[in-house]
Every structure is written in structure tokens, then in C-alpha cells.
Chain A
């Protein structure tokens, strides 16, 4: 490798052979950057999709279980309704019996009260005759016996009527209590019937949701396959471009009379055994001691290389620099 002067390096990087090579190099690097970003993005997409599929699958499984639970509740409600309906028939039968009994008691009370009323009427008539002045002594004696007899019958009839009223009240109370029970049973039956229908609807809806989730799982799995295929193609293209770039670098290493690692070119400087010219093939703003531009000529030490990269100084004739002399002899320029 021949040491170079600054002019040689500048002429070289402006030559058609180098600029043509550099165009290809820049194009491949740009494509490489885009492809790497694309490949990484596709991998992220595929992983996120896989995660989503796993989540949706789990959600679908849970939803199917939930649909099963709703179906179970519907069946339980239906069975409960059957039982309650049976109970309601029995309660209604009991009510009918009690209703009839209350009706009989009411009739019995009516009879007892009528008998009591008749006895009281007869007692009144007997007393009226007894108190009449025209009633003969013999007749008066008979009436007195009748009055005593009627009074005794009235006491008995009163007791009978009172007993009949009590029995009627008990029968009516039992009848009303049974009726309340019938109404409660009907209310329970209504609730059970409505619950059964609603749980049946819920189970259908939840099963539909599960089906939709499984459809999404199916679609997302297809999308994963598509993304994986796209990632595979991007990876293949990436390898092709990397290979082309490597070939281009190998070609440059063979044909350009300098050192090319991968992103910087170096040439020994003709009249400086400690230093080398360096031409970046990329822009780098953050990781070197200065911000460098592609295709600009810089200087590096042969020991340190890129550890310290310097701009190339333009020659200045320091032997004839009038500035210090002027500073001391003519005063100081103001700030």
C-alpha cells in the first residue's frame, strides 16, 4: 500500500470509479437499514400477534365455560319452575278445600243464628202473652214453663252460634293464609320461568361471543402466518443485501489502494509516519470526538485510529504571523 498525499486522497474520492462505488455502497447501506428496521418490526408484530392469539384463545375458552354455566342455570331454573308449579297445584287444592269448608261454616252459622232468632221471637211472644191481663191462670202457668224452656234453648242456641262463628273465622283465616301461599308460589313460578328463559338467552349470547372470539383467533393465526412469511422474505432480502454489501466491500478492498474496514477508509500519509488520512463512508454525529461527514478527509494517528479523529489542517505560514507582534507593539484590539 502506497502512502498518499492529501491531494491524492481528494482526487481519489472524487474519481468516477470511487463515486460510482460509493453510490452503490450508500444505496445498499440505506436498504440494509430499512430492511433491519422492517425485519425487527415484523418480528415485534408476529410476537404481539402471537400474544394476542394466546389471550383471545384463553378468553374464548373462558367464554365457552361461561356459556355452559348459563345453560346450567337455565336448566336449574326450569327444574325449579316445574317443582314450584307442582307445589302451586297442591296449594290450590288445599285452598279449594278450605274455601268449601269456610262456605259450609258460613251456612252453619247462618242456620244457628236463624234458630237463635226464632227462639228469641218465640220467647218474646210468650212473654207478651204472659204479661197480657186477658190470659187465664192455667194458660199463664203453661206460658211460664214455656218461657223458661225457651230461655234455656236460647242459651244453648247462643253457644252453638258462637261456636259456629269461631269455626267460620278459623276456616276463613286458614283459607286466606293458603291463598297467600298460592300467590307466593305463583310468583316464584313466574320468576323461575323468566329466569330460565333469560339464562337460555344469555347462554346463546355468550356462546355467540365465544364463536366470535374463536373466529378472531383463526384470523389472527392466519395473520401471524402472513407476518411470519413477510418476515422470512425480509430476512432473506436482508441476507442478500448483506452479502451484496460484503461483496462490494471486498471489491473495494482489492481494488482501492487503502485500508477499508467497513465504514471508514484509511491511507498512510506520505510525509508523516505517525498519521493516516481517514475518509468516513458514513455520517457520525455522536460517537467520535468530532462530528464527521461522509467523504470528507480527516486525519487519525496510526496508533489510535478512530480514538481521536482530527480535521485536516490547512497550511498557515506561522513564521510570518504578524498578530502577536501587533498585540505587543500596537496595543490590543478590543473585545
Chain B
């Protein structure tokens, strides 16, 4: 990992709404706590039903979000690209992964484990609070969107 990669990680994190309102030293530590992972097209990041305790931020490329239908066959329900994130639900509730994530193109992902988030929380309590607030906002936004669609469908 070069200094340029570290800098690049900081820039990607600064573009993600998940890390809004973080101070520069907080982002600097987060950049060190994130690992860079690379995936080939078609390679699975994780499967629906896996135990999850980490989140991913897309640095480059696109990923498919797949969920199993009533017939048990996985279907693409969304495509995510940089600087979107996924996996944050498991970081909060420690539950099983609700979807499968598969690289659609060559993809570079930043990966933060629960253990490393704990390191961040120990060092930057307020920064951790903002990450939690930002995750809550993302989840809230998705819930509102789901409710809106449900109301439209009814």
C-alpha cells in the first residue's frame, strides 16, 4: 500500500455520505483502518445468508446486488457504483447478509471490519457517533423510500 493509495482512500471516503461531518484526523484514521480489496467481474464479495460484520465502500467499478426470489433464484435488484456503500446493516445488527454482492465489473472496494470500527470508536468517540448517525440516515432514507413505494403500490 503506497502513500498514494492511502491518499486515494481518504479522497474516496470524503466522497461517501457515510463519512459526512468527520474531521480530517478522523478520516485519516479511517483510511488506515479500511483495507483495499480488488475483485474480478463475476467474483462474489459475500453471499446472502453469510454472517456479516463489515461494510464496503465502492472505490471503483460496479457491483450487482442480488436477492433470492420466491423461487429461490437470485435476481439483480440493484447496481451500485462508487462512492456508494453496502454491508452497513450487518455492521449495526450483526445479522446475516440480506443480499449477495457480486462484482459487475473489475471493482476496487474499501473494507471496514467491525473490529476496526471499534478501534476507531475508541479513539474518536464523536466521529463514531457521526458514522452511526450517517448509517441511521441512510437506513432511514431507504425506509422512507420503501414506504413511499408501498403506498404507491397500495
Name A residues whose Cβ lies closer than 8 Å to a Cβ of B. Answer: 283, 285, 289-293, 308, 310-311, 313-316, 318, 321, 323-324, 327, 332-333, 335
Contacts and interface: CB of A to CB of B under 8 A. Distances in A.
Interface of B: 1-3, 6, 17, 20-21, 23, 25-26, 28-29, 32-33, 35-36, 113, 115-116, 119, 123-127, 129-130, 133-134, 137-138, 141
B15 to A, nearest CB: 12
Given A289-B116, A335-B137, A335-B138, A316 B23 contact: yes
A335 B119 contact: no
Contact of A311 (B33, B36, B129, B138): B33
Nearest to A293: B1
Contact of A313 (B17, B25, B36, B113): B25
Contacts of B124: 313, 316, 318
Contact of A335 (B26, B33, B130, B134): B134
Nearest to A294: B1
Contact of A310 (B119, B126, B137): B119
A308 B115 contact: yes
B35 A291 contact: yes
Chain B at the A interface: mostly helix, strand, loop or mixed?
helix
12 contacts: A290-B32, A290-B116, A291-B36, A308-B115, A311-B28, A313-B29, A315-B25, A316-B126, A323-B21, A324-B129, A333-B20, A335-B138
Contact of B26 (A285, A292, A308, A316): A316
Contacts of A323: 21, 126, 130
Contacts of B20: 333, 335
B25 A327 contact: no
Contacts of A310: 33, 119, 123
- The dominant DSSP class at the A interface is loop
Contacts of A321: 126
Nearest to B20: A333
Chain A CB count within 10 A is highest, among B119, B124, B126, B137, for: B119
A275 to B, nearest CB: 11
Given A311-B119, A335-B141, 16 more contacts: A283-B1, A285-B1, A289-B115, A290-B32, A291-B36, A292-B1, A308-B115, A310-B33, A310-B119, A311-B28, A313-B25, A316-B26, A316-B127, A321-B126, A323-B21, A332-B137
